[in-house]
Copies of this chain bind each other. A is one copy, B any other.
Amino acid sequence: MTRLVDNPDDFPSQAVAGFASAFPGHVRPVFGGVVRAARTHRKVALVVGGGSGHYPAFAGWVGPGFADGAVCGNIFSSPSASQAYSVCKAADRGAGVLIGFGNYAGDVLHFGQAAERLRSEGIDARCLLVTDDIASAQDHLARRGIAGDLPVFKVTAAACEEGRDIDEVVRVFNRVNDRTRSFGVAFAGCTLPGGDEPLFRVKPHHMGVGMGIHGEPGIHDEALGTADEVAAMLVDGLLADRPENAGTRVVPIVNGLGSTKYEELFVLWNDMCCRLEAAGLTIVDPQVGEFVTSLDMAGVSLTLVWLDDVIEPLWLAACDTPAFRRGVIGQVELDTTALPQTAEHVSVVHPGSRASQETADAIVTALEAVAVRLAECSSELGRLDSVAGDGDHGIGMTRGSQAALAEARRVREDGAGAATTLNAAGSAWSEHAGGTSGALWGAALTAFGAALGDDDPADDHIIRHATRAALDAVTSLGGAKVGDKTMIDAMDPFVTTLESSSDQLPQAWESACHSAGVAAQATSEMTARVGRARPLGKKSLGTPDPGAVSFHEVVVAVGSVLSK
């Protein structure tokens, strides 16, 4: 379990600060993460990232020959778009920015938003999704990213370092991502900072086959045999999933997840090595150690990179980072330009009209009610979330709504109108809540605000229109439909009822709340049934997330303000 903690809320930022202070020759802190300490020539920049808790991934790979920057989210939670934007801006070397990350919903959302904003500023920014985990989907490009992050980013970074243009680098990325495949097992879950219970449990003497690096459910559990039996399963699984034109030269990467230690990894590698050679493969530059961890989770994965003439020299090229070094990087000059350390520079207050400022006052009042209500039901939301997810929904919603309120108050004092207030609130919510729901609520608030604008007074019609805009934003970002057991199940009937009602807004809002409440109730009941049936610590696929319940709480809280 995680024991060395000051304040669990500050754990990820303290870890980044400590990391940057331990490696001043390699990295410099910037709001949202770290960038290279070394001055770097004009080139395509590679920024990598994702949630924290996976060190050396991702910050441990920043330095000459490897990444230009790393975005560091909360533990196991996607960074916010503004964190990603901030690191990318600082890492930009004038020839485009590639943002590399494992294929997880929250990362796709937030890094996508950051890339969008960079492009709006004229920077050619693109997202690169690593998809190496063969256990997570049939289609290679639909898979999630695990320890394959290391070789895929390393090879892509080496192509950037050679000065290739962005289209060429993207082609290299696609090639190495296609030829990198991983397969893993878990023996025991890790405990989040401040937590007392592991995220999941595996029966003693068993292993979760194909389990993800945050404890996502695997294909199945099976009895744990000898090291050689584990070696056989992982090697055979990967050999059965060779890419096209695989060839016979492979880089094997044996990755310990945290508390499966070096001596065990060497024993396992000893067995794997024999099996790979028996399969007629030539082993090139094997890697055995900890590369993509999951706090102190027990488990191991094997990655195979199927080399070709393009990939092999890029993999072997020199680099010098805190956690991965090879070859010789000459003396570097340290970059001493100032870097922003807070989110301030991301938000710029545009003054609203008098009428819109009045709407903004009402928005602040509504956000107060929302923050109070979400804090009240935080543990209940956490309990519901622990059945299907990682139990942080209550904490995330509370943090998000409180940050949104603080930011709304701040910009409102600076004269903001409705759109600017909600945009600032949305960014803060997304950043502080973390996770997918943080991104979705951020997008909802921003879209709602955009529909209100900073000039016109808000009338009933505009507000109805704004709720539809918020729904569209959530649907388009999150991709969920009604029936997928997400917040959309409550939000869609809410918006439809509000639009179709001929009542005045407060009454119409109440009816709409009732529609949302039906979905919320269904979610709670379904979760309770699954919750009672599931084995201890075992996650259940198909269980609703509590998004419908928290959505209902939010709109009821807003309704209490509207009816005054």
Hey, what's the 0/1 contact readout for A53-69 against B, CB within 8 Å counting as 1? Answer: 10110001000000000
Check A286–B22 contact: CB distance below 8 A.
yes
Cβ of A525 < 8 Å from any Cβ of B?
A: no
Interface 9-mer from A3-11, A36-44, A362-370, A388-396: A3-11
Residues facing B in A448-481 (CB within 8 A) are: none
Residues of B within 8 A of A2 (CB): 261, 263-264
Whether A273 contacts B3 by the Cβ 8 Å rule is: no
The answer to the question of A258 belonging to the interface, with a C-beta cut-off of 8 Å to chain B, is: yes
**Are B55 and A261 in contact, CB atoms less than 8 angstroms apart?**
yes
Minimum Cβ distance to chain B for residue A222 (Å): 13
Minimum CB distance partner of A285 in chain B? B25
Residue pair A18, B293 in contact (C-beta under 8 Å): no
Residues from chain B with a CB closer than 8 A to the CB of A6 are 226-228, 267, 271
* A: contact size bracket: 35 or more
Q: Which single residue of chain B is at the shortest CB-CB distance from A196?
A: B204
Q: Does A498 belong to the interface (CB within 8 Å)?
A: no
Closest chain B residue, CB of each to CB of A258? B261
User: CB-CB < 8 A to A98: which residues of B?
Assistant: none
Chain B residue, CB-CB nearest to A263: B15
- In the docked arrangement, what's the CA distance between A75 and B75, Å? 34
> Could you say which residues of chain B place their CB within 8 Å of the CB of A21?
269-270, 273, 286
A55-B261, A296-B260 known; A267 and B5 CB under 8 Å? yes
Contact in complex: A4, B325 (CB < 8 Å):
no
Q: Is A160 an interface residue (CB 8 A)?
A: no
Q: A303 near B: Cβ within 8 Å?
A: no
Pick the residue among B19, B269, B273, B300 that contacts A266 (CB under 8 A).
Answer: B19
Question: CA–CA, A226 to B11, complex, Å?
Answer: 11
Instruction: State the 9 A-B residue pairs at the shortest beta-carbon distance, nearest first.
Output: A18-B270, A18-B266, A259-B259, A55-B262, A4-B264, A4-B227, A15-B263, A22-B288, A15-B266
Known: A3-B260, A4-B264, A14-B267. 10 other contacts (CB 8 A): A3-B264, A4-B265, A4-B300, A6-B226, A12-B263, A15-B267, A18-B268, A60-B262, A193-B263, A328-B330
